[in-house]
Amino acid sequence: MHVLSNSVATLQRLLGMPVILYVTTPGPFKPIEEADVEPVHTCLSHTLGKDRQVALVLHTAGGYVNAARHLAVMLREHVEHLSIVVPHRAISAGTLLCLSADQLMLGQLAELSPLDPNVSSAHPQAGMPPSISSADIHAYIEMAEAWFGLNREQHGLELFKLLNQKFFPTSLSSFYRSEQQMLTYCRELLIYSMSSATSADRETVADKLVRGYGSHDCIITRPEVIELGLNTRCLSPEEDQAAFDLIRACQTLKKDETQTMNCVVASEVFLSTHEAVTPVGYRPPLEHTEIEVDTDLPEQTLTWRVHT
């Protein structure tokens, strides 16, 4: 037994299935990353029963898209029926992970986000934003047509030349490859969260998530998730409260005054925490992008520790 066991057991009783937590917490920003796959896999192996169903309580501000996809594929390899519980926030790469669920269980304040790939630089040029989305590139062409009446067929080459003056050509191809990769991942995982939909309907949702929102930090609320067509169930007030209490319990875990648990993977019988030494004067970034290039996140001492 560990400090979260009783709270996990309460939610398990309400949901009628084993519960696993994958929760990022306050402190130095902890992205979804490749190092998370092993503790989640270990927790799953300790928790999954013969019926091979599990509810994953997810709370995250995002991270690396390839790591999120790896987690999704690993979960689907072992779990016959996967529910993902989102009491509050599963944005950016967390939204991609949500697409792997047979059923999304959403709380009243649940929020997902668009999946437009972002490329950021540690040293942006003067006058350029630090992070640019692939959707911004599409919007540039659409703006030229809508605001200035420039026909794509007639003026496309001139617009392309202008873009190449602002971006190194291979940077543009990186945007293209990242967007194609994201669309591929969405199509792959939407088979689970939209199992009864047609391939055309899934394609529409993938396109909406990658290209259909005004900015990367748009909030997709519970009613909007339902409208998209993902297989969704609203948490009951009691379930919602129990899931929120679990997130709060994870957020209070602390080793000492210098080491904060900024990610928790746990079940009733397993607990692993990710510890970060907070640099002096450190402030977490306002948001995290799906794909990073030349990132300059502050140096942190990061370790996973399994509690026995």
Mean pLDDT of 197-219: 92
Residue 294 has pLDDT above 70, yes or no: no
Tokens 């794509």 belong to which residue? 152
* Bridge partner residues of 265 (DSSP): 22, 272
CATH number of 5-117+175-307: 3.90.226.10
Tell me what pLDDT residue 140 has.
62
d(CA 32, CA 35): 8
Greater pLDDT, 110 or 302: 110
Give the pLDDT score at 129. Answer: 54
Q: How far apart are CA 11 and CA 252, in angstroms?
A: 18
Q: What percent of the chain has pLDDT over 90?
A: 56
- pLDDT confidence bin for 133, thresholds 50/70/90: low
Cβ neighbours for 210, distance < 8 A, ≥ 6 positions apart: 114, 115, 116, 117, 134, 135, 179, 182, 183, 186
Residue among 275, 88, 116, 252 at smallest CA distance from 180: 116
Q: Which of 68-82, 115-129, 217-231, 232-246 has the lowest mean pLDDT?
A: 115-129
> What confidence tens digit (pLDDT) does each residue in 246-291 have?
999 988 887 665 566 789 999 999 999 987 654 444 444 433 334 4
d(CA 289, CA 120): 7
- Higher confidence at residue 131 or residue 193? 193
Please state the domain extents for the chain.
5-117+175-307
